[in-house]
């Protein structure tokens, strides 16, 4: 195929979000954009179970305030396994820069989520990051 799509470096995502509508919308949108959703869970315990299962995950999208704890715990575990993390939250935690590739502030348009994932992918691949990033997104320059 002459004009095939470029293979993505980030394909398999874990979504950790305890707001059911946000979780559903995010999963539905990203699936439609060609990403594979490994799992969508609503708790630290659920995320730790998925991370401990040994399945391939390229990026964890994690909210900070979860029903059973902090998404920071999830980010620490993912980072320890070399998995990139994107905090998707109302308020980015102070330790985010040390644990995550970036932070996207809620609420956000879906195109901003795609731009954030694309910027993280560029960092992972050592490519130039697009010059114009969403205002609600902070890229920390490390990805795993």
pTM: 0.91
Please report the pLDDT score of residue 3 as a whole number: 55
Hey, what CATH topology would domain 12-139 get? Rossmann fold (3.40.50)
Q: What is the pLDDT along the chain (144 residues), one digit of tens a residue?
A: 455 556 778 999 999 999 999 999 999 999 999 999 999 999 999 999 999 998 899 999 999 999 999 999 999 999 999 999 999 998 888 888 889 999 999 999 999 999 999 999 999 888 888 778 899 999 986 555
**130's tokens:** 């697009």
> Which residues have CB under 8 Å from 10's CB, separation 6+?
35, 58, 59, 84, 117, 120, 121, 124
Selection from 54, 92, 39, 50 nearest residue 70 by Cα: 92
Domain ranges of the chain: 12-139
């Amino acid at each position: 195929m002459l004009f095939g799509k470029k293979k993505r470096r980030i394909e398999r995502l874990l979504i950790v979000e305890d707001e059911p509508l946000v979780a559903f919308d995010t999963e539905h949108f990203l699936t439609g954009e060609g990403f594979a959703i490994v799992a969508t869970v609503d708790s630290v315990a659920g995320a730790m179970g998925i991370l401990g299962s040994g399945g391939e995950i390229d990026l964890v999208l994690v909210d900070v305030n979860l029903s059973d704890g902090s998404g920071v715990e999830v980010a620490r575990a993912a980072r320890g396994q070399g998995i990139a993390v994107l905090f998707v939250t109302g308020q980015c935690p102070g330790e985010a820069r040390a644990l995550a590739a970036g932070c996207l502030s809620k609420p956000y348009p879906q195109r901003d989520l795609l731009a954030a994932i694309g910027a993280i992918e560029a960092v992972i691949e050592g490519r130039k990051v697009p010059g114009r990033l969403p205002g609600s997104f902070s890229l920390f320059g490390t990805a795993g």
